[in-house]
Amino acid sequence: MSSHHKTAITILGATGSIGLSTLDVISRHPDRFSVFALTAYQQIERLADLCLRFQPVYAVVAKQTDAVKLQQRFRIAAINTEVLYGEEALCHVAQANETDAVMAAIVGAAGLLPTLSAAQAGKTIYLANKETLVVAGALFMQAVQQSNAQLLPVDSEHNAIYQVLPTDYQGDLVQAGIASLILTASGGPFLHTPLSDFARITPEQAVKHPNWSMGQKISVDSATMMNKGLELIEAHWLFNAPAKQLEVIIHPQSVVHSMVRYIDGSVLAQMGEADMRIPIAHCLGLPQRINSGAKQLDFTCLNGLNFLAADFDRFPCLKLAYEVLHSSNDASACILNAANEIAVGAFLHKLVGFMDIARVVDSCLQLFSGHTATDIKELLQLDQQVRTAAENLVHTHTI
Ligand code: NAD
Ligand code: MG
């Protein structure tokens, strides 16, 4: 095994839910992986602990003051990790020659530029940051193709679909004999809550997901089902699937993680525990299967599997995402995402109610309906304009 080269990995968003699960998988395979860089936004203490444990070449934070403090700690602890800060540093560690692969696990559009850098540099990308594909799907996929980057989906639904697609799938559903892709959705914590109680839903209730333990933003997205909406757009770009070949079905147990419906009537599903280490290990191990640390599924403990249609009255965000997918303007997905990020943040800060999230997004889609964007600069400008408008709606209570 002397010629064996370890995969050097950069983890963007190392302190988050996906980042920590990734490090858990990596720690089970010290012979296979080395950690090149770890990045974090605010949880500097947690990042410091991770660096002491994994000793990456680089650590990246947002602010200079945090960088200085962290570098001092490393000097005292006598570890060689170099601390960088700011967005350029994120892009640097995502595209550096010394890194083979990048786990894109920053939350929100903040992950776009570093993930795009990894694509442009032809890295293997483990994609958790679905917002990258929502905001800039066309540009990102183009960068992946041009630089021959390998794009592997970490999001459990897309990873499930990836696992049950033909191994030589080239982005042509018809040629592969596929009728549709079926995304399963848990329905979140409010699947059976009376609609008349929705206006009183608190952030504490919304972030308590029944099956998955995740970051706050995606937990709220799961409660509104905007998460499934974002995932429809993600699936569209990943698998070259038009809206009419993308189905959503609610499956409250989260055992079937998604499915592919073939034209002959066969449906292939991927199943497992609701543990993100499973799709993460699938991506990291490819083409081999490796231990993820997750429990095996125990069928005797399952009390049946249920499937039901998603209700647009209950989940208007899902309807908005379908409309975006049907729209001819790619920039509408960027508008949807920016408005949603502001609305979710406002909800978490108790500035608006749960039902207002969809209203803010809907208003912004209408306000910006004529706006287009063709390159990354225009997309980022549009993203910023929509954020400002959404913040105005929130603060002036004109939702
Ligand atoms: P999280 O909130 O737990 O972690 C987010 C990470 O991003 C943290 O490390 C944080 O420091 C960093 N970050 C936040 N804002 C940043 C900014 N402005 N600049 C740089 N870094 C920043 O989120 P998560 O649940 O781990 O989700 C991460 C991504 O993975 C999201 O896009 C989410 O949709 C996707 N995802 C998560 C899960 C899950 O189970 N948690 C499943 C599927 C997909
Ligand atoms: Mg998902």
pLDDT tens column, 123-142: 999 999 999 999 999 999 99
What's the pLDDT score for residue 1?
A: 46
For residue 18, the ligand 1 atom closest to its alpha carbon is 26
Q: Tens digits of per-residue pLDDT, 54-94? A: 999 999 999 999 999 999 999 999 999 999 999 999 999 99
Fold classification of 327-399 is Rna Polymerase Sigma Factor; Chain: A (1.10.1740)
Ligand 1 within 6 A of CB of 153? no
Tell me the CA–centroid distance for residue 231 and ligand 2, in Å: 7
Could you confirm whether domain 7-153 is CATH 1.20.120.330?
Answer: no
Q: Which of 10, 18, 157, 211 for mutating ligand 1's site (highest number of atoms within 8 Å of CB)?
A: 18
Nearest to 247 by CA among 305, 178, 195: 178
CA dist., res. 305 & res. 271, Å (int): 11
Q: Tens digits of per-residue pLDDT, 257-310? A: 999 999 999 999 999 999 999 999 999 999 999 999 999 999 999 989 999 999
Tell me the CA–centroid distance for residue 16 and ligand 1, in Å: 5
Sheet holding 256-262, edge to edge: 246-250, 178-185, 256-262, 267-271
What's the pLDDT score for residue 3?
A: 54
What's the pLDDT score for residue 209?
A: 87
Ligand 1 within 6 A of CB of 13? yes
Tell me the CA–centroid distance for residue 63 and ligand 2, in Å: 30
Show me where the domains of the chain are located.
7-153, 164-273+299-313, 327-399
Give the E-state strand segments of 40-98 in sequence order.
58-61, 82-85
Ligand 1 within 6 A of CB of 229? no
CA dist., res. 281 & res. 283, Å (int): 5
What's the pLDDT score for residue 212?
A: 86
Q: Check for a shared fold between 7-153 and 327-399.
A: no
Ligand 1 within 6 A of CB of 109? no
Ligand 1 within 6 A of CB of 386? no
Q: Which ligand is nearest to the CA of 156?
A: 2
Q: Tens digits of per-residue pLDDT, 174-218? A: 999 999 999 999 999 999 999 999 999 999 999 998 888 899 999
Ligand 1 within 6 A of CB of 114? no
Q: Supply 90's token pair.
A: 């994120």
Alpha carbons within 13 A on the beta-carbon side of 334: 30
What's the pLDDT score for residue 397?
A: 77
Q: What is the DSSP letter of 4?
A: P
DSSP states of 120-173: HTT-EEEE--HHHHHHHHHHHHHHHHHHT-EEEE-SHHHHHHHHHS-TT--S-T
Residue with CA at minimum distance from ligand 1 atom 39: 214
Name every residue whose Cβ is closer than 8 Å to that of residue 355 and which is 6 or more positions away in sequence. Answer: 198, 199
Tell me the CA–centroid distance for residue 269 and ligand 2, in Å: 15
Q: Tens digits of per-residue pLDDT, 213-255? A: 899 999 999 999 999 999 999 999 999 999 999 999 999 999 9
| pLDDT exceeds 60 at position 33 | yes
- Average pLDDT (342-353) is 98
| Percent above pLDDT 70 for the chain | 99
| pLDDT exceeds 50 at position 2 | no
Ligand 1 within 6 A of CB of 106? yes
